[in-house]
Structure 1
Amino acid sequence: MVWHHLMLDLYGCKLETLGDKSLARRIFKDLSRIIDLRMITEPVIIYYSGERDSSSGEGVSGFVIVAESHLSIHTDLRTNFASIDVYSCKEFDAEVVERYLIKVFGAERVERRFFLRGLKRSEVKSEVERQ
């Protein structure tokens, strides 16, 4: 079994989407439905205004644990930017997720990184197997 990790950086997003906590909650629910993931916690979503000279930006950060791993969102109103991670032990269609998020945020440009993680897990015996 491998884990699938999609990381999207969305540039030129619509400003009104980046500070909206209810939109972040809807995105988590929609992604869970689209990919068929099971949310096992309620999403934790905060709005952070930051300091004017802070490099942390201003926007929404959210995280939800799903049975298959996690989903996260971080936005920055100052640069019209959103960063989304989808991490799952269940295979999913990254292009479907990307198209959905581009549409929701109205992104002008996207950078996608996709990794298969834990490729060598089967080569390592677990503590249980060693006993």
Structure 2
Amino acid sequence: MIGFGPHLMVDGYNGNFEALASVEAVTNFLDTLPAEIGMTKIMPPYVFKYDGGDKPEDWGVSGFVIIAESHISIHTFPEKGYFSIDIFSCKDFDIPAALEIIKSFFGTEDLEVQTTSRGTEFPRDIGMAGAITASQRRRLY
């Protein structure tokens, strides 16, 4: 098999203000999501509140959790009801299930969803990588 894995990108609109504004809620989301989608959390989530800097209305909560399969990150903008979540994994996972968890947790059906495959030429198996390289060399000579 070749390819690193899926990258799910979610933009949420009209999310629940309390969930978006809470460091505790976002921490809980990042702490429980990996197991719910079959991933392996390898560190506690790191979550912090941002004051918005020059644009106070852009305050929110950001965080990430490193998983054995890669990472999950989130950024929230409670005043705007908006959040963005990335789930990047080196193994396939149930994307529809992840989306249902996100909708339920943040209280919105209003999601913009994009997926892509990362590392499409990444050789997962070193033996396969050797075979591909050998095959390419035979064609060159």
TM-score bracket for this pair, using the shorter chain length = 0.7 to 0.9
| RMSD across aligned positions (CA) | 2.0
Aligned pairs, how many?
124
Q: What is the rounded CA distance, in whole Å, between the counterparts of 1:97 and 1:44 in structure 2?
A: 20
Match of 1:19 among 18, 21, 26: 21
Query: What is the TM-score with the length of structure 2 in the denominator?
Result: 0.80
Per-residue CA shift, 1:35-81, capped at 9, x if unaligned?
12111122110011213x42881110001111110010100012110
Contact residue 8 and residue 116 of structure 2 kept, 8 A: yes
Tell me the residue number matched to 1:88: 89
Q: What is the rounded CA distance, in whole Å, between the counterparts of 2:116 and 2:19 in structure 1?
A: 27
Tell me the residue number matched to 1:10: 12
Q: What is the rounded CA distance, in whole Å, between the counterparts of 2:19 and 2:30 in structure 1?
A: 14
- Report % sequence identity: 35
Tell me the residue number matched to 2:136: none
Tell me the residue number matched to 1:68: 69
Query: What is the TM-score with the length of structure 1 in the denominator?
Result: 0.86
Q: How does 1:13-52 map to 2 (within 5 A)?
A: 13-51=15-53
Q: What is the rounded CA distance, in whole Å, between the counterparts of 1:50 and 1:25 in structure 2?
A: 19
Contact residue 31 and residue 65 of structure 2 kept, 8 A: no
Question: What are structure 2's unaligned runs of at least 5 residues?
Answer: 124-128, 134-141
Contact residue 74 and residue 83 of structure 2 kept, 8 A: yes
Instruction: Give the Å deviation of 1:108.
Output: 4.2
Tell me the residue number matched to 1:107: 108
Q: What is the rounded CA distance, in whole Å, between the counterparts of 1:121 and 1:72 in structure 2?
A: 23
- Return the structure number with greater helix share: 2
